[in-house]
Amino acid sequence: MAILLAAAGAQAALVPCRQPADTGKVADALDRLRHSVDPCGESPQVLAVIERLEHCAGARYEICTDGITRRNLLEPHDADEPGTIIWNPTLRSELERGCDGDPARPVVRDPVASLLHEMVHAVDDCEGRDASAHELEAVRIENIYRRAAGLCQRTAYGDTPLAAETVKLCSPVHCECSSAAGASAGQPMPPATTQRQGPAATGETPADLAGDGPRAHGDPRH
């Protein structure tokens, strides 16, 4: 079973997964992203990610579901194969501690937010950037959906914190929408470049692939 995410044709940027995929969950997640409303007014950036990926001229991408992977990630495209977003629609593991002012409360993965994170990476890959070098931008855009869904926002990628000016002050009850540094967020994604990092030469999944969280210690694949 596969899902066609965009118009059929050789030039479609989003193509059917070559492996069995949960088409219903993929379609539902994309619908949630398209209809999300950020109380801080940045939802157009989420729609822009979807549009840029759907209209990618230089590569094709598939969204494949994997119910056992412990980390959502992007495998970049190459000249002959599409890029692959590997997405676990049931993964809700902990990313960091500190949610809604409670330092002990965990911030966990949300499947829809994680899919958006990987789609940002796919746009980076399509437009010639090394996706793994732009994890903080992917987290920033992921946070737009998190606010819309009333979820706790992320403040870091692994041990690397987001810049204070990109973190909006927001809770499920009320969003002030000012930044933690008193400056406005919403910086655009970096412009396309002509250089990109290709996929690994072997069939193994390298540790530095772009994903929704750092690779766990002792995890041989993800």
pLDDT tens-digit readout, 147-181: 999 999 999 999 999 998 888 888 777 888 988 66
Please state the pTM of the whole predicted model.
Answer: 0.80
Determine the average pLDDT of the residues in 48-73.
95
pLDDT above 50 (res 195)? no
pLDDT value of residue 221 = 37
In sequence order, what are the beta bridge partners of 188? none
Domain boundaries of the chain, sorted by first residue: 23-179
pLDDT above 90 (res 146)? yes
